[in-house]
Amino acid sequence: MVILITGISSGFGKAMAERLSKDGHTVYGTYRKTDTFIQGVRYLKADVRDEESVRAAVAEILKEEGRIDLFINNAGMGTGGPLQFMTTDLAEEQMDVNFMGMIRFLKYILPGMTARKKGRIICISSIAGLMGLPYQGLYSASKFALEGYCEALRIELRPFNIKVTVVNPGDFSTAFTSKRIKPDDAKIETLYPGYMKSMQSIESDERRGLNPERLAGKISKIVRKKHPAARYIIAGPIQKMSVFIKKLLPPRWFDRILSLYYKM
């Protein structure tokens, strides 16, 4: 299987590229900056925000392989902070990377898949795409956008035998935590006195989260399935339960639970 994964420099992308390559697949991955390369994986320098680099990356694979069997949308970035202090520039960057990046790639990948009437798409979303997380509102918004997009995409592509799967990870220990962009404004602590405590709790949970190799192992199993499910939640018991509870409780009750959980 010819696979393209976006964002393989670290975290989920790196773990998936390594695992799927070991499984015997031909794996291509995009990166912006990296100093470590996985043997057997073919690296393509591309920025999901740059249309031309996206086009060139897909064109190179099609020139070498003639097709892309599976596209894994993984590249992403995170923001954290009260929404009142998140700038429009930061909101645009968050959506550009996490949401528009997938649209740019599929613009060049889908024509081949629909022509062959065969293909697979896996989108790495998040638990944050299923519930609006406090102090991660922009990040949640970008993942909510992916959720709606993939739901419509799955229905539209069904006649072409193209399967679309969304994966929702919970807390994992990756470089995502240290790279999160947060506003620097002295007024935040005055207006939101619990902000720092909440962010410390959020980032502590992430650092103690699951190993990315666990997600890579699950992706390996999903790839082997003839009829994969529309969604897979890969998280610890509490976070899995939170998704179920959200469906049952009135919004104000669930809001209260999230507030307590995030020490607000």
3-state secondary structure of 167: strand
163 token code pair: 């399967």
In the chain, the percentage of residues whose pLDDT exceeds 90 is 89
| 95-133 tens-digit pLDDT | 999 999 999 999 999 999 999 999 999 999 999 999 999
| pTM metric for this prediction | 0.94
Does 125 qualify as catalytic in the annotation? yes
Tell me which of 9, 21, 126, 142 is the catalytic residue: 9
Are 32 and 47 in contact by the 8 Å Cβ rule? The answer is: yes
Q: Which residues fall within 8 angstroms of residue 230, CB to CB, at 6 or more apart? A: 154, 164, 165, 166
Look up the domain containing 55 and give its range.
2-261
Tell me which of 28, 143, 149, 198 is the catalytic residue: 143
| 14-56 tens-digit pLDDT | 999 999 999 999 999 999 988 789 999 999 999 999 999 999 9
Does 81 have pLDDT greater than 90?
yes
Mean pLDDT along residues 189-217: 92
Mean pLDDT along residues 210-221: 96
- At 194 the pLDDT is 85
Residue 34 parent element (H or E): none
**What is the average pLDDT score of the chain?**
95
Does 9 qualify as catalytic in the annotation? yes
Are 217 and 232 in contact by the 8 Å Cβ rule? The answer is: no
Tell me which of 21, 125, 140, 198 is the catalytic residue: 125
Does 117 qualify as catalytic in the annotation? no
Does 63 qualify as catalytic in the annotation? no
Tell me which of 135, 139, 149, 262 is the catalytic residue: 139
Q: Total domain count for the chain? A: 1
3-state secondary structure of 31: strand
CATH number of the domain enclosing 148: 3.40.50.720
- At 64 the pLDDT is 96
3-state secondary structure of 101: helix
